């Protein structure tokens, strides 16, 4: 079957920088210029957590040729928008602009890679900004706090033990030297993917990228992550207390990494359970039994083995244990009975239409391709549509039984 994916062209410079161009011949005069660094919180160590995210913030400060805030001003002055994000596995920066601003965008990213100042006087106030973000999203948000604690308990050894924001004490105790060392180690051409997507000619991109990045030198080997999470040897159950109006619940299971063939089936299971108002969990727990206000069920697709996560926010007065019983019933139902052909077909159609829809804008195409390229394997993406097509009710049941094992699950309950 023909894939809906656009074609891409790629070249690697002598210094190891991979350049990827995805021309979308849509006459929109819009491009997304993205740079992905192969570094996220999985490259951190205990005591220095959250540094990848901190560095993302520092990237918008001063460089040899730009004053603090000038990067943003330069982007805005040509009508562009820019942003960045840090995940477990990589850090992503993007500029969305009109096609004629290709040279500006590529030049700005090259400037950040080789000329970032990393001054202590810029670092100290920004550390407070990150601390505030941690308070707002994690410490003062019961759901955010539950999410953080979930990783602290589901992983004991691997750096996925924390989320990219890091632990509060580490944020307070980093030094600018820690940040400089991290930048020197990971922000090298050989550890990055530069990507331009949209209304653009590949020749122009390769030319501009070579001119801007070609002379940047690498600085030593990139350390490999050697953490392998030991197999969980029993079910874990944790109760945490937090100032919250309602109780909350998370149940999680270990699943393989993003390349594993079972990932496609796991994402179909997550669609069946949680996507939209006709999904099983929504119909049962929100509509029919009115037990929860929100419910999530999704599979992580990470460089190293991830988690399949169920999270629920109970309605006022509802006990987390009540929701837990109902949720366990739904999980067991996936294991004991086959999904109907009709239910599976509907999910396949939705999954494929979401996928095709995500290929319409330069930004989402860049996100999609970039997330695979930066993790070193684009094959799962290229076969995605045919893999979804091949899924049978039998396969869904097999995969549910393979991973939804309550003997190695982690349950975290949040109470007032």
pLDDT of 168 over the 70 cut: yes
The pTM (predicted TM-score) of the whole model is: 0.96
Give the DSSP H/E element, type plus range, for residue 369. helix 362-373
String of b and e for 24-42 (b: at least 16 CB within 10 Å)?
Answer: beeeeebbbbbbbbbbbbb
pLDDT band of 72, cuts 50, 70, 90: very high
Q: Token pair 């993302």 is at which residue? A: 56
pLDDT 10s digits, 24-46? 988 899 999 999 999 999 999 99
What average pLDDT does the segment 197-213 reach? 97
- Told to judge if 111 belongs to the known catalytic residues of this protein, a careful annotator would answer no
Degrees, nearest 5: CA angle 322-323-325? 70
Q: What is the pLDDT of residues 306-323, one digit of tens each?
A: 999 999 999 999 999 999
The pLDDT assigned to 413 comes to: 98
User: Of 167, 34, 168, whose CA–CA distance to 112 is shortest?
Assistant: 34
Tell me: the pLDDT tens digits for 316-342?
999 999 999 999 999 999 999 999 999
DSSP summary character for residue 271: H
For residue 1, is pLDDT > 70? no
Please give the pLDDT value at position 227. Answer: 94
- Residues 337-349, mean pLDDT to the nearest whole number: 95
- Residue 141 confidence class, pLDDT cut points 50, 70, 90: very high
**Residue 82: per-residue pLDDT:** 96
Q: What is the mean pLDDT of the chain?
A: 96
- Rounded to the nearest 10 degrees, how much is the dihedral formed by the CA atoms of 388, 394, 395, 398? 160
Q: What's the mean pLDDT in 345-368?
A: 93
Task: Report whether pLDDT(2) > 90.
Answer: no
Q: Which of 44, 56, 208, 271 is catalytic?
A: 56
Q: At what angle do helices 176-186 and 51-58 cross, to 10 degrees?
A: 90
């Amino acid at each position: 079957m023909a894939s809906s994916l656009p074609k891409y062209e790629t070249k690697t410079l002598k210094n190891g920088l991979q350049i990827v161009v995805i021309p979308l011949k849509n006459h929109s005069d819009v491009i997304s210029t993205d740079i992905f660094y192969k570094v996220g919180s999985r490259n951190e160590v205990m005591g220095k957590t959250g540094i990848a995210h901190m560095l993302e913030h520092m990237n918008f400060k001063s460089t040899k040729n730009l004053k603090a805030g000038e990067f943003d001003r330069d982007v805005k002055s040509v009508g562009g928008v820019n942003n960045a994000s840090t995940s477990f596995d990589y850090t992503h920066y993007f500029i969305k602009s009109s096609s004629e601003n290709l040279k500006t965008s590529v030049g700005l990213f090259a400037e950040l890679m080789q000329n970032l100042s990393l001054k202590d006087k810029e670092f100290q106030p920004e550390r407070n900004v990150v601390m505030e973000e941690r308070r707002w999203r994690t410490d003062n948000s019961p759901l955010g706090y539950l999410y953080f604690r979930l990783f602290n308990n589901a992983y004991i050894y691997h750096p996925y033990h924390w989320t990219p924001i890091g632990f509060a004490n580490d944020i307070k105790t980093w030094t600018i030297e820690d940040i400089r060392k991290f930048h020197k180690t990971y922000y090298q051409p050989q550890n990055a993917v530069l990507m331009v997507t949209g209304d653009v000619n590949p020749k122009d991109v390769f030319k501009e990228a070579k001119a801007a990045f070609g002379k940047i030198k690498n600085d030593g080997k990139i350390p490999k992550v050697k953490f392998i999470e030991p197999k969980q040897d029993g079910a874990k159950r944790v109760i945490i207390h937090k100032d919250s109006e309602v109780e909350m619940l998370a149940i999680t299971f270990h699943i393989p990494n993003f390349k594993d063939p079972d990932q496609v089936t796991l994402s179909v299971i997550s669609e069946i359970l949680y996507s939209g108002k006709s999904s099983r969990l929504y119909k049962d727990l929100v509509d029919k039994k009115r037990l929860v206000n929100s419910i999530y069920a999704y599979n992580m697709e990470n460089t190293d083995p991830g988690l399949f996560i169920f999270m629920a926010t109970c309605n006022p007065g509802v006990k987390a244990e009540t929701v837990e019983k109902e949720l366990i019933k739904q999980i067991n139902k996936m294991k004991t009975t086959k999904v109907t052909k009709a239910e599976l077909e509907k999910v396949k159609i939705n999954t494929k239409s979401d996928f095709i829809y995500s290929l319409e804008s330069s930004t989402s195409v860049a996100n999609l391709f970039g997330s695979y390229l930066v993790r070193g394997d684009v094959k799962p993406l290229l076969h995605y549509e045919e893999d979804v097509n091949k899924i049978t009710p039998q396969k869904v049941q097999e995969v549910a039984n393979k991973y939804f094992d309550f003997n190695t699950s982690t349950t975290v309950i949040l109470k007032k």
